[in-house]
Amino acid sequence: MKLELKGITKRYGSLVANDHIDLTVEQGQIHALLGENGAGKTTLVNVLYGLAQPDEGEILIDGQPQHLGSPSHAIKAGIGMVHQHFMLVPVFTVAENVTLGMERTRVLGLIDRRRTRRDVRELSERYGLQVNPDTLVEDLPVGVQQRVEIVKALLREANVLILDEPTSVLTPGESQELFRIMRELRSGGRSIVFISHKLKEVQEIADTITVIRRGRVVGQRPPTTSDAELASLMVGRSVQLRVTKPPASPGDVRLDVQGLTVAGEEDKSALDEVSFQVRAGEILGVAGVQGNGQTELCEALLGLVPAAAGSVRLEGQDLTHATPRQRLHSGVGYIPEDRQEDGLVAGFSVGENLILDVYNEPPYSSGIALDRGTINKTAAERVADFDIRTTSTATPVGTLSGGNQQKVILAREIGRDVRLLVASQPTRGLDVGSIEFVHRRIVEERDQGVAVLIISSELDEIYALSDRIAVMYEGKITGFRDPDVPPEELGMLMAGASDADAAAFGAAADHGQIAGGEAADETGLMEAGLYGVGLPGVAGNRREPADEGPAAGDGTHADGSDGSGSGSQSGGTQSGGSGSGPADDSGADPE
């Protein structure tokens, strides 16, 4: 089935989200739509799926004009869509979700559950989706839930499948599995429209790449196009694909954490006697596969979960039992890993979100009244300083693209006087331009004497930003390393190897004594989600050598998801690990 879009234009008031877009998707082709956050990608596919109606232009299928007035019309025309945020009922089984709205029935209108399960199994086996039709969706990992969405579209006989930022909530291993499924679908003659802002992903999986910037098509390129050229097309300027920073000049100890322990589930500690220090003017990066205590570490440092044991001190001040507000007022800035759940109030304006942690202090309030004039003036200054793209400071922050939402949080947290900045997954779900901006501002904070703690499951980001690296595994810090540590050694620590064993393995790999990761503990790497997804020198490696890919400077490869592999890396980041909320890059401003 050949799909054509001609002159598609979509306006929201004075905002032109799509501006006369032309696009052709051939049968059996993976066609990537690449663009920065807010470029108009999601608006375009919403038009294609009948969720929005174009103001101008037409859609043709096999040369015939189509009116897609609703998703049901699109489905009948052979178009299916897997949304960035899955449309599944958690308490229903896989089979019930897949056939919702088109249930198979037998005599007297009874639902034919046996046939439903059989259909799901057949599709699952045909494309290697490995989905159990009887499992409750709420019990499935995020990557498997995505497969359920794909089965749902295939059962409705979709010949064109739209995948909207499909890796934003996947680990590197899950992303690679998704790419395998996409190739299977392509070999079966189906077409895929793959929406992403991640350079490495589209280069790995796409047959052709169309770049959209500010609602317009600015170029079409083959997947062999260089990172620099694609990034320039996306952002409209040259983008620094590597972090450049002078050597750190660490000062006195700013943050001192000793024996920090946080209770977990089933009598197991989420944090187990974690100890470390961060000095003024340095960046300590915490590496690890998502789910090994990084989230709990951030929450404990901010007072969001109580410490069962240990201490947290900021410049000698004991904050172990301080409230979150007391910690913020003591000079702690916090960029949470889930910006929508923990960092913003979606219904509040941009201006209101910029003062969430200081709204009750002068000059923003006097007594019980807010000083709207000062709030608006400060908001306008920060919108300009941090290049937050919004039509107004009164715009609800929930309508901004993911990159602009992250800039709001960054502006709020470092726009005040902070002594410690805790940044968890700071570039998750961001495009190359936004990643470049976030990394630059974080380095500037370090250079101004702020102690910075970065928690990221993206190895490239850790390497690019860190002055020292700590590795977490199962709630413990397994070792500290300098940023020139061999990736093999860091990977072994992330997989649970002892400090000594990891050092020996790294030294052997560094001297060429290990070919293809022969000495690696493959079982441990698999369990940690690292096997084959981003450790040069480890068996099954799919990532290019560290010195060949762009570093985190912009968001090109600087991370990995939450573990780092070329397939799941974006132009600078990677989508997130399965335990965290997805970054919502949609919204009317202008996506």
Other residues' Cβ atoms within 10 Å of the Cβ of residue 252? 10
Let me know if 108 is exposed, middle or buried by CB neighbors in 10 A (0-12, 13-18, 19+).
exposed
Asked whether the whole model's pTM tops 0.75, one would answer: no
Does 3-235 match 253-483 in CATH topology? yes
DSSP string for residues in 431-487 = -HHHHHHHHHHHHHHHHTT-EEEEE-S-HHHHHHH-SEEEEEETTEEEEEE-TT--H
Residues near 435 by beta carbon (within 8 Å), at least 6 away in sequence: 427, 552, 553, 554, 555, 556, 558, 571, 572, 573
533, 542 contact by CB (below 8 A)? yes
Closest-CA residue to 393 (of 354, 365, 360, 430): 354
d(CA 583, CA 36): 13
Q: Report the amino acid identity of residue 542.
A: R
Measured CA to CA, the distance from residue 275 to residue 256 in angstroms comes to: 8
Does domain 253-483 bear CATH number 3.40.50.300? yes
- Name the β-bridge partners of 263: 269
Angstrom distances, CA of residue 221 to CA of 208, 210, 225: 6, 6, 6
Strand ranges of the sheet holding 309-314, from the earlier edge strand across to the other edge: 269-279, 253-263, 309-314, 317-318
Determine what percent of the chain is predicted with pLDDT higher than 90. 49
- The span from the CA of 501 to the CA of 505, in Å, is 6
Domain coordinates in residue numbering, the chain: 3-235, 253-483
Question: Are 92 and 138 a contacting pair, CB within 8 Å?
Answer: no
DSSP structure class, residue 349:
B
CA torsion angle 485 486 492 495 (round to 10): 80
Distance CA 73, CA 127 (A): 26
Query: What backbone phi and psi angles, to 5 degrees, belong to 551?
Result: -90, -175
Domain 3-235 = CATH 3.40.50.300: yes
Q: Which residues of 433-442 are buried (b: 16+ CB within 10 A; e: fewer)?
A: bbbbbbbebb
Establish how many alpha carbons lie within 13 A of residue 533's alpha carbon, considering only the half-sphere containing its beta carbon: 33
Relative to beta strand 365-366, strand 369-370 is: antiparallel
**Residue 207: alpha-carbon gap to chain centroid:** 23
Q: Are 565 and 252 in contact (CB under 8 A)?
A: no
- What is the distance, to the nearest Å, from the Cα of residue 61 to the centroid of all Cα atoms in its chain? 33
How far, in whole angstroms, is CA 210 from its chain's centroid? 21
For residue 42, give the DSSP letter.
H
pLDDT in tens, the chain (591 residues): 899 999 999 998 888 999 999 999 999 999 999 988 778 888 999 999 999 999 999 999 999 999 999 999 999 999 999 987 788 999 999 999 888 887 777 777 778 888 888 888 888 888 888 889 999 998 887 778 888 999 899 888 899 999 988 887 676 677 888 899 999 999 999 999 999 878 888 999 999 999 999 899 999 999 999 988 998 998 888 777 678 888 999 999 999 999 999 998 777 889 999 999 999 999 999 998 777 899 899 999 999 999 999 999 999 999 999 999 999 999 999 999 888 888 999 999 999 999 998 888 888 888 888 889 999 999 999 999 988 888 899 999 988 877 789 899 999 999 889 999 999 989 877 778 888 888 999 999 999 999 999 998 778 889 999 999 999 999 999 999 999 998 888 888 888 888 888 888 777 766 665 544 343 444 344 444 443 333 433 333 333 333 333 333 333 333 333 333 333 333 333 333 333 333 334 344 444
Local structure of residue 582 (DSSP, 8 states) = P
